[in-house]
Amino acid sequence: MAARNPRFRLPKNAKVGDVIEVKTLIMHPMETGNRHDKYGKLIPRDIITTFVAKYDGSQVFRAEFGTGISANPYVSFKMRVPGPGVFEFAWTDEHGIKTVATAPLILI
């Protein structure tokens, strides 16, 4: 199942040099491949393996996931604002399917 409905929360405003918290969430079942359906058949493994956050084209955060991560993974990280730019958030599953969301950071 492909990931869907990526969400993120950025500060409403920030200044250059501020440390901000970025929060992200994506809807995905994160099946481990260890569970069985009601008929006893093994549910195939289906997990997001990588999350990458870029700001103005430069990677600012990266996470590698395994089978121990919960469904609908939530990721939060902090960074110092270097200047104006656009965030790009990318979740990639083990089948190579990538879900991408972008948003500018509003500076005051």
Q: Give the pairing type, strands 58-64 and 98-105.
A: unpaired
pLDDT of 5-37, one tens digit each?
999 999 998 999 999 999 999 999 999 889 999
Q: Is the predicted pLDDT of residue 2 greater than 90, yes or no?
A: no
Report pTM. 0.91
CATH for the stretch 4-105: 2.60.40.10
pLDDT, residue 1, reads: 63
At CB < 8 A and 24+ separation, what contacts does 6-11 make?
Answer: 6/89, 6/91, 6/99, 6/100, 6/101, 7/101, 8/87, 8/89, 8/101, 8/103, 10/87, 10/103, 10/105, 10/106, 11/105
Which has more pLDDT, 68 or 58? 58
pLDDT of 68-96, one tens digit each?
889 999 999 999 999 999 999 999 999 99
